[in-house]
Amino acid sequence: MRVTAGLYKGRKVNPIHDPAIRPSKAMVREALFSILGVDFCRDAVVADLFSGSGIMAIESLSRGCGTVYCVDSSLDSCRLIRANMEKLEIDATGRIFHLKADQAVSSFAAMQLKFDLLFLDPPYAAPQVGITALELACSHDILTPESVAVFEHNSRFDLPEIKGMSVYKQRRYGHTKLTFLRPE
């Protein structure tokens, strides 16, 4: 896997070697950041709640985000994220959380963190864990008024209404759909 743009463009990161985990394709990552726009990432505070290999966090940092918090329930994924960050000489001290997404949202609220960008890419077979995390993010008030939440999911799945959020854009890329939401 290679970083698609920015400071780390072309640099390789190690993928997860687990057939049950599906990393975001390069085309989808490029499209996502194109939709957000060049200036959106500048100095943004980002949370990636289903980090996997950390590629979305790395893409965000590569494009100028200020701080990225990575969350994954798999200890192996957390180790891989740390290894990928070290490979690119990114200091991730204190920003990789071995937690479930809903636990991380509660922790972020307790830490009084606010996010400009929230990535949610739950397992395609279990989108509800992402929906729950997004609902908690709204109820715990960890999003800024200008925040964007990007939910990556199976294109056959229609994301239900999320209280406190409104969909402003959706794009389909094969079996993948990106749903962009903003706080109401």
Q: What are phi and psi of 68, to 5 degrees?
A: -130, 135
* Distant-in-sequence, close-in-space partners of 32: CB < 8 Å, separation ≥ 6: 24, 150, 152, 178
Token duo for residue 48: 């990636």
Can you give the residue ranges of every domain in the chain?
Answer: 41-183
pLDDT reported for residue 20: 67
Percent above pLDDT 70 for the chain: 99
The domain defined by 41-183 folds into Rossmann fold (3.40.50)
**What pTM value is reported for the model?**
0.94
pLDDT (tens place) for every residue of the chain, 184 residues total: 999 999 999 999 998 877 667 778 899 999 999 999 989 999 999 999 999 999 999 999 999 999 999 999 999 999 999 999 999 999 988 899 999 999 999 999 999 999 999 999 999 889 999 999 999 999 999 999 999 999 999 999 999 999 999 999 999 999 999 999 999 9
Beta partners for residue 181, in sequence order: 149, 167
